[in-house]
Amino acid sequence: MATFNVWKTIKYLILIVMAVLFLTPVYVILVTSLKPLDEVSLANMWALPSAIDFSSYSHAFSELAPNFMNSVYLVIPATLLSALLGAMNGYVLSKWKFKGSELIFTVILFGMFIPYQSILIPLIQFLRNIELYNSIAGLVLTHVVYGLPITTLMFRNFYANIPDTMLEAAKIDGANFLGIFRHIIIPLSITGFVVVAIWQFTNIWNEFLFAVTITNSDSQPVMVALQNLSGSQIVQWNVQMAGALLAALPTLLVYILLGKYFVRGLLAGSVKG
Amino acid sequence: MKKLFGILLLMVMALVIAACSSDSSSDGGEDADASDGGDSGESAESGGGGEGTVEIFSWWTGAGEEDGLLALIDLFEQEHPDITVDNAAVAGGAGTNAKAVLATRMQGDDPPSTFQVHGGAELNEGWVAADKMEPLNDFYEEQGWMDKFPQDLIDMVSKDGNIYSVPVNIHRGNVVFYNKQVFEDNGLEVPTSYDEFIEVADQLQDAGVTPLALGDKEAWTATQIFENILLGELGPDDYKSLWAGDIPFDDDRVVAAAEKFKTILGYVNEDHASRNWQDAAQLVGDGEAAMINMGDWAKGYFSNDLDLETNKDFGYFAFPETDGDFMVITDTFGLPKGVENPDEVKEFLSVLGSKEGQDAFNPLKGSIPARVDADESKYDEYGKDAMADFNESNLTPSLAHGSAAAEGFVTKANQAVNIFVTQLDVDNLINTLKNAASEL
Amino acid sequence: MAEQAVDRQEQEYPESRPQQPAAQKEKKPKKKISGDQWVAVGFLAPSFILVLIFVYGFIGWTGWVSVSNWNTLVPDFSFAGLKNYIYLFNDYRFQADLRNTVFFTILFIGLVIVMGLGLSILIDQKLRGESLFRNIFLFPMALSFVVTGVVWQWLLNPSTGYNQFLALFGIQPKWYTDTNILAGFEWGSIEFGLPVAIIAVVIAAVWQMTGFSLAMYLAGLRGIPDELREAARMDGASEFQIYKKVILPMLMPITVSVIIIMAHISLKIFDLIYAMTGSGANFVTDVPGVYMFETTFRGNYYANGAAIAIIMLLLVAVFIVPYLLANRRSDG
C-alpha cells in the first residue's frame, strides 16, 4: 500500500509540474494584457501590473468585434462540412474498399502536405472564376477542401476500429450502404466527430494566410483583425495579448464544452465494440 | 445520438445558407450583422473597389499610422462625400504580409484602387517594370506639383521620364538616437566621425553600457547600419552609383565599409537576434544601451510609447559621416492599370498629395511631409529639424527599405547581412553581394 | 476485400479471434453489395474532384512555375529547366533550411509522441482532477501559432523569460539566439548538425501540439478493453510489462496517425517560426516555408519559391510512402 501511494504522489507531482510549465505562457499573456503599454517590456515580463488596466481589452474588443461574426459564419459551416465529407470518405475507405480505393486515399491524403503559400495565386484565380473570391463562401470552400485530407484520414482510422462484424450483422438484416452509414456508423462516430471538429474548428479559426488573401476588408475573419491590431512598425503588446485572448475565447469554449462530450462519448463504450 | 446528428445537419444547412446569402447580397445582410457587433469605425461598404469606391491598400494599421490614414480619409470624404473609401490594410512583418497579398491580387488581376509602395526601386523596378502602373505626368502638371516636391524625390518615383506615384511622407533612415542621461553620465559628446563613434563606443563599453542597441530579428535593421556606413564611406553620389551598378562591390571602399560594419557589430547587445527594433530601442530608453540606429519612426516610439521627452531624455544625430545626407524612406501611392474608376482614384491622389492632406497625415504618423511647402507649425521639434534637413540635404535611397535596389537584390542582400552578422566574414559578404549584383 | 479488412481487425484485436466464423458468412452478401459499391464511389466523388482541382491542379501550376524563368514581378513562363532547383541546392540558406527541417521534424514528432503518450498514461490512471489536467494540456491547441510564437519568443529570450529562473541554477542557455551547430560537419556550404537554436522552436511547437497527441492516445487507451489488462495481470505481467507488451503495440495505429499529422505540420511550419524567431541569426531557425514566403512575395522570385514548394512536397513523400506501404502490407 505504501509503495502504491508513493507512486501516486509521483504521478501527481509530474502532472502538476507539467501543468505549471504548460500554464506559464498563459500567465505571461494574461499579465501583459492587463498592463499599460509603458510597463510592457521584455525585462518586466514576469512582473504583475502595477494597476489592473482593462483598457487594452476594450480597445481590442472594439477592433475585433466587427470581424467576429465573419469568423463564426466561416468556421461553423466549414468545420461541419469538412467533418461530414471526411466521415463519408472515411466510411468508404475503411469499410467499402474497392479496387483503387487505396490509391484514392493516397491521392486525397497527399493534399494535406501542400504548402499553402505556393498555391495562393492559382487559388485566387480559380475562386474569381467561380465568383467566390472575396467572400466567406469562398473561404469556406477553401477550408473544406484543404481540410478533407486530414478529416478523411482521421475518420478512416477511427472507423477501422469498428469491428466489421457489426456491419455484417446489419447487412444480414438487410441494411444497405446508406442505412449502415446512418444507423450504425454515424451514431458510433460522435467521438470521432468531436475530435475532428475540435481540430478543424481551431485550425480554421486560427488560420491567417487564406483569410488574408481570399477576403478583403469587410468579410475578413477575426484572425486578420487580430493581426491588424499590430502596426507595421510599432506593436502594442498589451492590446495584442488582450486581443489574442479575446479571439481565442471561442476555441477555448469549444475545448471546454466538447472536451466533456469527448469523455462521455468514450464512456458510452461506443469504441470498445 | 440520432437527434444530435439531425441538429448538426440542420445547423450546417442553416449556416451554409446564411453564408451564401450574405455573399450573394454582397454587403447588405452581412454588413448589418458585422456592425451590430460593435462600432466598426470607418468600415466602408464594399469589399471590391467598384464604381464610387476607392480602395486604399496599405500596411498602416498600428497606432499613429492608422490615425494618420484615417485623418486623410476623413479629409477626402469631406471633399468628396459621393465617393466611399475602403480602407484595406494588412498588417504584420513591416509590410511583408501586405506585399504578399498585394502581389497575389496583382497577379490575379484584381488590383486595389491604389496601394502603398516605397518610392525608388520597389516601385520602379517592381510594379512599373511589370507594366502595372499608369504614368501620372499630366496629373502632376494639372495639380501644379512639379515644384512642390524636391526634384530628387520626383526622380525616385519616376522611370524613363514618367512619374508613377505620389509620395505622402518621408522618414529618415540615417539617424542615431541616444540616451542623453547615459551620454551625460559618461561625459560623452555626440560622435560625428567613425573614429569618434568607436571612441565613444569604447568608453561606453568600459563603463558597462552596451554602446549600440541592435534588434536584428528581422535582418533589415542590420542592413540599415551597413547602408549608412556605405553612404558615409562612398558619399551620396558614389553611393547611388553603387546601386546603379556602376561601382563594383569589390571596390576598396565597399570592403572598407564591410570592415567597419564588422567592427561596429562588436559593440552591439549580445541578444540582438532575439529582439526586434522596438525591443532594442527599449534598451536605449532604459539606459541599458546608449545608442540605436533606426529610422525616425523610432522617435514616435520613444515619445508616445515610452513617454520619453525629445532632447531631454533622448537625443538624435545623423549617422557618423552622413551629416548632410538624408536616407529617404518614402511611402507613395500610385494608380495601377486596370482600375475601374481611375478618375475617382486620382481625386484621392490629389488629396493625398495636397498640402492639407500631407499636414493631416504626417503629424499623426510621425513622419514629415514630402512636399516642400508644408506648414511647419504642425510638427514637433524633431519634425521641424528633419524638415529643415530634408530641404538642405542630399537625398539618398535606402537599400534596407527597398528604394535603392530591386526587391530581388534586397532579399539577397538581407540574407548576406544575416549570415555576416554571425560569421563576420568580410570576403563572403563581398562575394555574395557581387554575385547578386546581376539582380540590380 | 472484406476478408482483408477482417485480417486487419485481427491484427488490431488479437483477442477477437473467436469471431472467425464471420469470415465465412461474408461470402454470401458479397454479390448484393455491388450496387452499394457504386454509392460508395459516389460518396467519394465530390471530395475526390475537389482535391483534384485544388490540390493537383494547383500543384501542377506550381510545378510549371518552378521550371520557368518567372523571377521578377513580370510573369515569364519560358522554360528554365532545372535552373531554379540547381540554384536552391547550391544556396546556403536552402541548405540550412533542409538541415533545420530534418532536426525540427525529428525532435518535434519525437517529443510530441513521448509527451502525449506519457501524459495520457498518467491521466488515464483514474487520478483526481483528471479533466482539469486534460484541459490544461489541451488548451494550447486553441491558440494560434502567431500568439504562441510571440509568447515563446519572450519566454525563451536569453536575457529574460525562463532564464531569470534558470539563473538561480547558474544555467543560461542562449535558446534561439544560439548559433552553435552540435556535432557539426561540413556539408555543402553549411555545417550539418543539430542547430541548438531549433530546440527553442521545438519547445514552443511541442507545447502547442502535445494536446493533440494526448487526446489521440487517451482515446486509444480508453478504447482498450479492461479485460485485456486483466487477462495480462492474471498471467502475472507487471504494470510495466502490460504497457510494453500489450498496450503500446495496440496504440501503434494511433502513433502512425500522430506521426503523419505532426509531419505535415512540421514540414510546412511557417506561422510559428515567422512570429517567434524569423530566420534566425545565420539562418539557424529558418525553414523552407519561411524561405518560400519571403523569396516569393518579398523578393519576387516566383520560380524559386515554386521550386521550394515542390521540394517540400518531395520531402513529404519520404513520410507518406512508407506509411502507405505499411498500410498495404497490413491489408494483406
Q: What is the pLDDT of residues B217-262, one digit of tens each?
A: 888 999 999 999 999 999 999 999 999 999 999 999 999 999 999 9
Looking at beta carbons, which residues of chain C come within 8 Å of B410? 298-299
Name, in order, each residue with C-beta under 8 angstroms of C296's C-beta and a sequence gap of 6 or more.
Answer: A117, A118, B100, B103, C302, C304, C305, C306
Q: Model confidence at C51, in pLDDT bands (50, 70, 90)?
A: very high
| Residues A86 and A155: beta-carbon distance below 8 Å | yes
Nearest to C62 among A12, A107, A119 (CB): A119
Q: Residue A262 has what pLDDT? A: 58
In this predicted structure, the answer to whether residue A189 has a pLDDT above a threshold of 50 is yes
Q: Does C22 touch chain A (CB under 8 A)?
A: yes
CA dihedral (B172, B178, B180, B186) in degrees, to 10, reads: -150
Q: Is residue A88 situated within a structural domain?
A: yes
Looking at beta carbons, which residues of chain B come within 8 Å of C296? 100, 103
Q: Model confidence at C244, in pLDDT bands (50, 70, 90)?
A: confident
Q: What is the pLDDT of residues C180-209, one digit of tens each?
A: 888 888 887 888 999 999 999 999 999 999
A66-94: average pLDDT: 92
How big is the A-C interface in CB pairs under 8 Å?
Answer: 275
| Residues B91 and B61: beta-carbon distance below 8 Å | yes
Q: Residue C97 has what pLDDT? A: 94
CA B366, B372, B377, B378 dihedral sign is negative
- Give, in order, the Cα–Cα distances in Å from C202 to each of B116, C35, C152, C257: 36, 50, 11, 20
In this predicted structure, the answer to whether residue A3 has a pLDDT above a threshold of 60 is no
Long-range contacts of C53-56 (CB under 8 A, 24+ apart): C53/A126, C54/A111, C54/A119, C54/A123, C54/A126, C54/A142, C54/A145, C54/A146, C55/A110, C55/A111, C55/A114, C55/A145, C55/A146, C56/A107
Provide the CATH topology of domain C84-330.
Answer: MetI-like fold (1.10.3720)
Parent domain of A36: 1-53
Phi, psi (rounded to 5 degrees) for B133: -120, 145
Q: Residue A20 has what pLDDT? A: 93
In this predicted structure, the answer to whether residue A231 has a pLDDT above a threshold of 80 is no
Q: What is the pLDDT of residues B280-296, one digit of tens each?
A: 999 999 999 999 999 99
Choose from A163-167, B41-45, B352-356, C184-188 the range with maximum mean pLDDT. B352-356
Residue spans per domain, chain C: 84-330
Looking at beta carbons, which residues of chain B come within 8 Å of C58? none
Residues A42 and A8 in one domain: yes
Distance CA A36, CA A47 (A): 13
| Residues B294 and B177: beta-carbon distance below 8 Å | yes
Long-range contacts of C289-296 (CB under 8 A, 24+ apart): C289/A115, C289/A117, C290/C97, C291/C93, C291/C94, C291/C97, C292/A115, C292/A117, C292/A118, C293/A117, C293/B96, C293/B100, C294/B96, C294/B411, C295/B411, C296/A117, C296/A118, C296/B100, C296/B103
Q: Residue C325 has what pLDDT? A: 72
Tally of CB atoms within 10 A around C24:
9
Nearest to B305 among A38, A80, A230 (CB): A38
In this predicted structure, the answer to whether residue B23 has a pLDDT above a threshold of 60 is no
Q: Does A272 touch chain C (CB under 8 A)?
A: yes
B170-188: average pLDDT: 96
The three cell numbers of residue A180 are 449502415
Q: What is the pLDDT of residues A112-135, one digit of tens each?
A: 888 888 888 888 888 888 888 888
Q: Is A56 helix (H, G, I), strand (E, B) or coil?
A: helix
Q: Residue A267 has what pLDDT? A: 43
Q: Model confidence at B316, in pLDDT bands (50, 70, 90)?
A: very high
Q: Residue A234 has what pLDDT? A: 64
Looking at beta carbons, which residues of chain B come within 8 Å of C177? 270-274
C28-47: average pLDDT: 72
In this predicted structure, the answer to whether residue C313 has a pLDDT above a threshold of 70 is yes
Q: Report the chain C residue with the minimal C-alpha distance to residue A269.
A: C223
What integer best gives the mean pLDDT of chain B?
A: 86
Query: Which of B60, B97, B217, B271 to mutate to probe the A interface, most A CBs <10 Å?
Result: B97
Q: What is the pLDDT of residues B83-119, one digit of tens each?
A: 999 888 887 656 677 888 888 888 877 899 999 999 9
The three cell numbers of residue B142 are 494639372
The domain tally of chain A equals 2
What integer best gives the mean pLDDT of chain A?
A: 83
In this predicted structure, the answer to whether residue B38 has a pLDDT above a threshold of 80 is no
ipTM value > 0.90: no
Looking at beta carbons, which residues of chain B come within 8 Å of C278? 217-218
Residues A70 and A127 in one domain: yes
Q: Is residue A170 situated within a structural domain?
A: yes
| Residues B274 and C157: beta-carbon distance below 8 Å | yes
Q: Residue B432 has what pLDDT? A: 93
Residues A84 and A4 in one domain: no
Distance CA C72, CA C77 (A): 11
CA distance B271 to chain C (A): 7
Q: Does C121 touch chain A (CB under 8 A)?
A: no
In this predicted structure, the answer to whether residue B58 has a pLDDT above a threshold of 70 is yes
CATH number at residue A231: 1.10.3720.10
Which CATH number is correct for B175-327+397-439, 3.30.465.10, 2.170.190.11, 3.40.50.2300, 3.40.190.10? 3.40.190.10
Residue indicated by cell numbers 481565442: A248
Looking at beta carbons, which residues of chain A come within 8 Å of C306? 118
Alpha carbon of residue A143 to chain centroid: 11
Q: At what angle do helices A237-267 and C145-155 cross, to 10 degrees?
A: 120
Please give the full DSSP string across B186-233, using - where no structure is assigned: TT-----SHHHHHHHHHHHHHTT-EEEE--TTSTHHHHHHHHHHHHHH
A24-47: average pLDDT: 85
| Residues A239 and A249: beta-carbon distance below 8 Å | no
C289-294: average pLDDT: 89
Q: Residue B353 has what pLDDT? A: 95
Q: Is residue A59 situated within a structural domain?
A: no
Residues A148 and A225 in one domain: yes
Nearest to B47 among A140, A216, A231 (CB): A216
The three cell numbers of residue B4 are 444530435
Residue spans per domain, chain B: 53-169+331-391, 175-327+397-439
In this predicted structure, the answer to whether residue A152 has a pLDDT above a threshold of 80 is yes
CA dihedral (B266, B268, B273, B275) in degrees, to 10, reads: 180
Q: What is the pLDDT of residues C108-135, one digit of tens each?
A: 999 999 999 999 999 888 788 888 888 8
Half-sphere exposure in the Cβ direction for B16 (13 Å, CA): 13
The three cell numbers of residue B294 are 533606426
Q: Does A124 touch chain C (CB under 8 A)?
A: no
Q: Which of C:174-213 have CB within 8 Å of A?
A: 207, 212
CA distance B3 to chain A (A): 10
Q: Does C11 touch chain A (CB under 8 A)?
A: no
- Give, in order, the Cα–Cα distances in Å from A155 to each of A94, A195, A196, C284: 9, 10, 8, 38
Half-sphere exposure in the Cβ direction for C101 (13 Å, CA): 25
Nearest to A228 among B91, B104, B275 (CB): B91
- Give, in order, the Cα–Cα distances in Å from C304 to each of B103, C91, C96, C301, C309: 16, 11, 16, 5, 9
How big is the A-B interface in CB pairs under 8 Å?
Answer: 178
Q: What is the pLDDT of residues A213-224, one digit of tens each?
A: 888 777 889 888
Q: Is B1 helix (H, G, I), strand (E, B) or coil?
A: coil
| Residues A168 and C29: beta-carbon distance below 8 Å | yes
- Give, in order, the Cα–Cα distances in Å from C236 to each of C14, C153, C232, C233: 19, 50, 7, 5
- Give, in order, the Cα–Cα distances in Å from A114 to each of A21, A29, A117, B227, C61: 33, 32, 9, 38, 13
Q: What is the pLDDT of residues C163-178, one digit of tens each?
A: 888 888 988 888 888 8
- β-pairing, B210-213 with B289-293? parallel
Say if the Cβ atoms of C73 and B129 lie within 8 Å: yes
In this predicted structure, the answer to whether residue B145 has a pLDDT above a threshold of 60 is yes
Q: Does A220 touch chain C (CB under 8 A)?
A: no
Distance CA B174, CA B242 (A): 18
Residue indicated by cell numbers 482539469: C132
In this predicted structure, the answer to whether residue C224 has a pLDDT above a threshold of 50 is yes
Q: Residue C174 has what pLDDT? A: 87
- Give, in order, the Cα–Cα distances in Å from B174 to each of B198, B253, B294: 17, 19, 7
Distance CA B362, CA B367 (A): 5
Q: What is the pLDDT of residues B324-375, one digit of tens each?
A: 999 999 999 999 999 989 999 999 999 999 999 999 999 998 899 999 998 9
Residues A2 and A39 in one domain: yes
If one compares C256 and C96, the residue with the highest pLDDT of the two is C96
Q: Residue A233 has what pLDDT? A: 59
Report angle CA A225, A229, A230 to the nearest 5 degrees.
130
* CATH superfamily entry for domain B53-169+331-391: Periplasmic binding protein-like II (3.40.190.10)
Q: What is the pLDDT of residues C8-21, one digit of tens each?
A: 333 333 333 344 44
Q: Does A227 touch chain B (CB under 8 A)?
A: yes
- Give, in order, the Cα–Cα distances in Å from B164 to each of B72, B132, B342: 21, 10, 14
Which of these, A95, A97, A87, lies nearest to A191 by C-alpha position?
A87
Q: Does C39 touch chain A (CB under 8 A)?
A: yes
Nearest to C93 among B106, B129, B415 (CB): B415
